[in-house]
Structure 1
């Protein structure tokens, strides 16, 4: 098929996620390498969101591809109850990378399934049924993880499952109160969270689930002291702390896992995306030794045909070894400093940039109509004039490929990006923000 045939066939037969189908315009991709991909006409595009913040090691990584081929020559599939070397190796590697309280891994196919099973495990282990999660959060779109999600993508699942309770992010930029320090902000949000725990009854709350750093909803980085404070509340009220590391895991923030920045030990960690960088789907739930030991004598009522798929686990082993061998976390920290400097300059330069938040190679630019009032460029949950779509189109014209959510532009390039590549691409964002200044505010 040529590029046009691919596009027309997809539009005719394929339902594309999160889209009004008559407006979709998929780019037929002919080849890809590093941080770039090419269409069938030979045009080169820069992947500045690592696809869905999962292609951490870029396209065409030979070490991952070779690991998959080696496993294929042995066997492609064996069920979860059988022994597969790649499954055993990856489980050990993941637990070795986790804090010393962690014990075992249950493998899934993706992040949504990881969060689904984390909820089930928490309820089985605690005997309690309520699950706390935040309004500005995305944990997946299947029924359980969709109820866990706080933002508007949960609406299609409502009325929802009983027991899911929402609370507010520590979103300091949009808070009506002006805090004198991060610690003061953390104390405020923790006080409100504890109040809500008491109102809901801690005897019924199984877990508090948090994206360690809120992802698509704005890369909201918790203030100093917030996550340790959540950990303390969980300990005080006998509640499990679940960190969703689907986006922030696997060196995205400059550490192997995002929670490492905040000196906390979760009870459960969910992961996906960067564990295989999308070469084959894989996710998982890492649980503490205490939880793992509980299921020695209690039925683990979780099961998936493809749990710990041998090919996916082979890709996972190769990815983890690549992160370690090539010191990717250190590289991300260095490139993150460059990205941060560029974003600070853009924030100062452009009237449309209300805030820019970043950690490692995980960042968001928040667009506003007015810096003083902080009025978002589009209302929350709505874009009646298609403004964000038009802005995305301006970026696409320059072949700077990313995605937007609410009034945010996400910038999360592959972790292998060089400083030269990063600076070249961010010039394009600068150009588009100048257009936004002139035409949309």
Structure 2
């Protein structure tokens, strides 16, 4: 598929402010801003403060950056900022360090290893839903985050050591995610000011790292032989046979927490929102879960019988996904006929790509059958809920298993209904959260 006429320079996106560039538009309404960029070209010039940024709106160019020419790019500005929170773990590293870390971490999240964490996932769902009663109003966005938080901390940490970490993540992670968008959009000098938001972010980082460090200290005081992820990280060895030091273990643990809590929690809330909006699809999900439960669902492999439910989740992830992420060129290169210098920042928006009618017909229509076998293939680079290429999310199978497990446990007993007048808005950070809303529990 072509990418349009060859360009020699990227057309500038109108509306840049003096000094601040497009930062005001990005901060005011990032989803609308990214969604408008395709009107100006396949590669367009955006300014974040004084920094020139090239935004990609065509999936072929996105695939080129993330896969075909992936070795020509590193993580970029977003991940530089994120490294101040999580350090230099798998979530923020690039190149040889990333490949070395991935060789150690990825086996912990392969399909056959996910079964080790199914009990932790089921316990998380049970803990959050055990007090639910028919007729009760549930804050579903909070419930989704609580399930994701407990599932990750139960899997990451040894028994009885995760409570303080979970509390710290719940209190501090939202602070950091809000601060991160500001730090990306505003000039670098702003992040060094003693502004209240910057101070809150610094305290939140210290709180999170301190909690993980304390959990690691307690962990080292107990015998080996546990199946939690932290134990695996402690006993991991690099290519030279050396173990990771405490800083490296804390960086990896924080990367997993940051990547696996708010994104999965938001997706769970969006799933129940979409189920309530689409009764016909909800009936198919409930019927499929009931049939699977009658045969028994005690293993992640049995979740693969949930074919329609999986398509429902894929469609939810199409509509409700990451707002944007970035890459940086390592050497001079070319994108769509536009020459880029070494160090150029490139931004792409999965949210905008997923709602572009060129790649997803009738994009605002919720249709799980988009993912049915035999339907037209989605172009490479046009569907990125977990990224693609060398930096594809290592926890993809974990997240799918966690969400499907929550669905089987909740939908086998409950139907969740919107309250009259409910209006759910998109709240963009790096991921896109639903606004706070309550749902009514009906016992099936």
Q: Which structure is higher in strand share?
A: 1
Higher relative contact order (CA 8 A, sep 6+): 2
- State the TM bucket, normalised to the shorter chain: under 0.3
- Structure number having the greater helix percentage: 2
Scaled by the length of structure 2, what TM-score is found? 0.27
TM-score (norm 1): 0.27
